[in-house]
Amino acid sequence: MKIGRFEIEQLSEGIFEVFEDGTIHKVHSEDIAHPTTDLEGIRVSSVLIGIDPILIRDGKHNVLIDTGLGWGLDAKSEYENTSNLKTNLDIFGLTPHDITHVVLTHLHFDHAAGSTYVDLFAHTQPTMDYANYFLQKKEWAFALSQVDQPLLAKGGNYDLDELYKLAADQKLVFITDARFELLPGIELIRTGGHTPGHQIVKIHDAGETAYFLGDLLPSEHHLNHYAMKQMDVDPLQSKKAKTLLLKQAYEEGAVLLFYHSIHTKAGRLMKDVDRKYVLEDVK
Ligand SMILES: [Zn+2]
C-alpha cells in the first residue's frame, strides 16, 4: 500500500491461538473454524489473533514497527518453517540488516520478542543490528517495575531478559516527548492506556495519512466498541485516546493498519448511514 512516498507492508507471521494462561500456538487457516477442546472435549477458552509487524519504505529508509514473536530466529530454534521477520523481509528483498529504524509500540512479548535472537554461541544479539530501537522511556520504566510482579492485565507479559542486552548495547532510544518525529512524515505519539508508555505511529505524506494504532486498536473488531478492559493497564485512558485518535483519523480520511487482525488487516476509516465506523478497502 502507498501513503505518499511511503510503501507500507504488513509482515504477517500467521494466526495464533492465545489461551487464558498466556500460552500461544500457531493455527492453520483451515482449523480456524474449529474451536480447541481439551481431552474431555470441553471447549477451551481462547482467542485467535494475527501478528503483523509493519514495514515502511521510502527508498532511503526501511522502518520496522514492532518485531513480532521472533519464532525461528534463534540459532538452535525449535521452530522450523515458520514466518518471522527474516522470512517476511526476504519477500521484499531485504534482510534485518537493511532495517534503519525499529519502533516498538510497547514491550509486551508479542510485539517485541523478535527484537533479539540467540546466536550459535548462546549470545543474545539485536535482530536488526544496524538499527536503533525507538520506544517511550515511560514504557521501559514501567516494564522494569513489572518484573516479578503479578500481571496487572491479561496478556500483559513482559519478557525483558533479552531486551537488557539491547539496553546494554545502547540500541534503545528512550523517547521522553509525547510526540516525536522519527523521520519527516513518520511521527510517534504516546497514548498510554494499554500500557503507560504505549505509543502509536502516524504516517503522513503528500496529503495521505495512515495510523498504526498498536494495541490501542488491535483489530477491526474494536472499531465501534471498547472491549479491552481486561487487557489495558488504564482502560479509561485507552478509551479516551482511542476516541480522539479515531475522530482525527476519520477527519483526515486516514487508513488504519492493525497488528492483531485475522481478516481485515487495513482499511480507510469511513462512517456508514448509522454513523458507525467502517473500513473501506485500500489498494
Ligand atoms: Zn500488548
Q: How far is the CA of 59 from the centre of ligand 1 (A)?
A: 30
Using CA atoms of 175, 176, 177, 183 in order, give the dihedral in degrees to the nearest 10: -20
Q: How far is the CA of 156 from the centre of ligand 1 (A)?
A: 6
pLDDT in tens, the chain (283 residues): 999 999 999 999 999 998 877 788 898 766 666 666 666 666 667 889 999 999 999 999 999 999 999 999 999 888 888 999 999 999 999 999 999 999 999 999 999 999 999 999 999 999 999 999 999 999 999 999 988 777 766 666 888 888 999 999 999 999 999 999 999 999 999 999 999 999 999 999 999 999 999 999 999 999 998 777 778 999 999 999 999 999 999 999 999 999 999 999 999 999 999 999 999 999 7
Give the CATH class of 2-280.
alpha beta
Q: How far is the CA of 274 from the centre of ligand 1 (A)?
A: 31
Q: How far is the CA of 269 from the centre of ligand 1 (A)?
A: 23
Q: How far is the CA of 225 from the centre of ligand 1 (A)?
A: 18
Can you tell me the distance from the alpha carbon of 253 to that of 249, in angstroms, rounded to the nearest whole number?
A: 6
Task: Write down the pLDDT at residue 24.
Answer: 87
For 4-153, strand residue ranges (E) read 6-10, 15-19, 24-27, 46-50, 54-57, 62-65, 101-103, 116-118, 124-126, 132-136
Can you tell me the distance from the alpha carbon of 231 to that of 234, in angstroms, rounded to the nearest whole number?
A: 9
Q: Is the dihedral of CA 79, 73, 159, 189 positive or negative?
A: negative
For residue 175, give the H/E element and its range. strand 172-175
Q: How far is the CA of 66 from the centre of ligand 1 (A)?
A: 11
Residues facing 146 on adjacent strands: none
Task: Write down the pLDDT at residue 20.
Answer: 78
Q: What is the DSSP letter of 43?
A: B
Per-domain boundaries in the chain: 2-280
Can you tell me the distance from the alpha carbon of 200 to that of 135, in angstroms, rounded to the nearest whole number?
A: 10
- Cβ neighbours around 277 below 10 Å, total: 16
Q: How far is the CA of 175 from the centre of ligand 1 (A)?
A: 19
Residue type, 85: L
- Say how far residue 82 (Cα) sits from the centre of its chain: 18
- Report residue 182 as a C-alpha cell: 522519527
Q: How far is the CA of 31 from the centre of ligand 1 (A)?
A: 25
Task: Write down the pLDDT at residue 131.
Answer: 98
Q: What is the DSSP letter of 243?
A: H
Task: Write down the pLDDT at residue 266.
Answer: 97
- Say how far residue 170 (Cα) sits from the centre of its chain: 22
Residue type, 58: D
The residue among 128, 105, 106, 107 whose CA lies nearest residue 116 is 128
